[in-house]
Amino acid sequence: MMVGIVKETFPREKRVALVPANVPQYQKLGLEILLEKGAGSDAGYPDSAYETKGVKIVRNRADVFSSADVMLFVRGLGANPDAGKSDLELMKKGQVLVGMFEPLSEPDSIKMLAEKGVSVFSMELTPRISRAQSMDTLSSMATIAGYRAVLLAAEALPRMFPMMMTAAGTIAPAHVFVVGAGVAGLQAVASAKRMGAVVHAYDVRPAVKEQVESLGGKFVELELDTGDAETKGGYAKEMGEEFLKKQREMMTRVVAENDVVITTAAIPGKNAPILVTAEMVRGMKPGSVIVDLAAERGGNCELTRAGETVIENDVKILGPANLPSDVPYHASQMYSKNLTNFMSILVKEGELQLDSDDEIIRATMIIRDGKVISREN
């Protein structure tokens, strides 16, 4: 059975779906690897590194599709809505596609894939259960995004993060406020703390207080009813507008007291909630920085523009897009391991076993032999 890897076509996407270190695990499963020339180069993995592992390199993208039984992507159609369409004509009936496809927000793209008669597994839907932790793509990429957000903030802020005792006087530490204590938020807390900042964090889920404090952060408690703020899968729920209004009122003071605000709140398949209003921005100190990790979903800050830096009242609002691609070597390493672990349950004795009784397979399968499948099924 042949597994195909092609160069990503999403603009400025540098990651690759398989790194050389994981090739032997595919071979142990009885699989062969076919790689489009240069697929890993932007991530720091040259063709020669794959060839030494026994991977066959081909120049023509179409040849990879025509030979492969399984295609692995970082961004498949849906997560790559424009350039991804060019791959449709290369797909063949019965082929299995694995990667990120944004099924909750790109239903039209999913229909296009179904019309090709393929089967598709979307890694964004990996269930948050113990057995699937090593396959949790969203958590892997969020870890990188949280780390990068702190670096971007430190670079944009016109002051240093740590407290320093110098002959020229004492330098006070920067104050960082992280909104949303999921994987990205917790990594931001840890990274900012390591850089010497005073870190506060807030989340609608009070259960994460202990996690924030274990990383050296201080948890901000707002007097709000958050009893129904978490899904069974561990994600934050979409809250009503009345709740958000009260939340914004209480957060105004906290935001004004900080030099950096990093927002990470996202609801799968929906626009990000507005947590930082234009009024809050105007209340921040000149030179302050906001890094909005939800920029691609519309942003948690009212003034965010995806892929741009907005300056309002001398406050910089960064709306970075696709942050994991800015660290392509390790992002690819982590993503590749997620896919490798997933493939280990999908393939038995060199053959595909699409066992819908398996909770992980059932949750991630969005198309089977050209038929769109709901998550509940």
Task: Check if the beta carbon of residue 251 is closer than 8 Å to that of residue 180.
Answer: no
Q: Is 117 inside any structural domain? A: yes
pTM, whole model, 2 decimals? 0.91
Q: Is 137 inside any structural domain? A: no
Q: CA separation (Å) from 297 to 103, 182, 272, 306, 324?
A: 14, 16, 5, 8, 16
Looking at the structure, tell me whether residues 149 and 298 fall in a common domain: yes
Q: Is 136 an active-site residue?
A: yes
Looking at the structure, tell me whether residues 89 and 215 fall in a common domain: no
Domain assignment of residue 320, given as a range: 142-325
Q: Is 92 inside any structural domain? A: yes
Looking at the structure, tell me whether residues 234 and 272 fall in a common domain: yes
pLDDT, position 249: 78
Looking at the structure, tell me whether residues 206 and 304 fall in a common domain: yes
Which of 86, 133, 214, 353 is flagged as catalytic?
133
Between CA 348 and CA 114, with CA 360 as vertex, the angle to 5 degrees is 85
Looking at the structure, tell me whether residues 281 and 358 fall in a common domain: no
Q: Is 376 inside any structural domain? A: no
Q: Is 253 an active-site residue?
A: no
Task: Check if the beta carbon of residue 371 is closer than 8 Å to that of residue 377.
Answer: no
Which of 87, 136, 203, 259 is flagged as catalytic?
136
pLDDT, position 377: 40
Q: Model confidence over 321-336: pLDDT tens digits?
A: 999 999 999 999 999 9
Q: Is 128 an active-site residue?
A: yes
Tell me the sheet residues that pair with 120.
97, 367
Q: Model confidence over 41-83: pLDDT tens digits?
A: 999 999 999 999 999 999 999 999 999 999 999 999 999 999 9
Looking at the structure, tell me whether residues 160 and 16 fall in a common domain: no
pLDDT, position 227: 54
User: Would you say residue 354 has pLDDT above 70?
Assistant: yes
pLDDT, position 247: 74
Q: Is 136 inside any structural domain? A: no
pLDDT, position 281: 97
Q: Is 26 an active-site residue?
A: no
Mean pLDDT of the 193-200 span: 98
Looking at the structure, tell me whether residues 69 and 21 fall in a common domain: yes
Q: pLDDT over 70 for what percent of the chain?
A: 94
Q: Is 362 an active-site residue?
A: no
Q: Model confidence over 237-269: pLDDT tens digits?
A: 556 677 777 777 778 989 999 999 999 998 877
pLDDT, position 169: 92
Mean pLDDT of the 85-93 span: 97
Between CA 105 and CA 322, with CA 84 as vertex, the angle to 5 degrees is 65
Which of 27, 128, 159, 326 is flagged as catalytic?
128
Mean pLDDT of the 19-47 span: 98
Q: How confident is the model at residue 230 (pLDDT cuts 50, 70, 90)?
A: low
Which of 235, 326, 344, 368 is flagged as catalytic?
235
CATH of the domain at 92: 3.40.50.720
Q: Model confidence over 290-302: pLDDT tens digits?
A: 999 999 999 999 9
Please tell me the total count of domains within the chain. Answer: 2
Task: Check if the beta carbon of residue 254 is closer than 8 Å to that of residue 218.
Answer: no
Q: How confident is the model at residue 236 (pLDDT cuts 50, 70, 90)?
A: low
Looking at the structure, tell me whether residues 35 and 176 fall in a common domain: no
Looking at the structure, tell me whether residues 240 and 149 fall in a common domain: yes
pLDDT, position 260: 98
Q: Tell which wins on pLDDT, 131 or 251.
A: 131
Distance CA 178, CA 156 (A): 16
pLDDT, position 224: 64
Q: pLDDT over 90 for what percent of the chain?
A: 86
Rg of the chain over Cα atoms, rounded to whole angstroms, equals: 22
pLDDT, position 181: 94
Which of 41, 139, 159, 326 is flagged as catalytic?
139
Looking at the structure, tell me whether residues 271 and 332 fall in a common domain: no
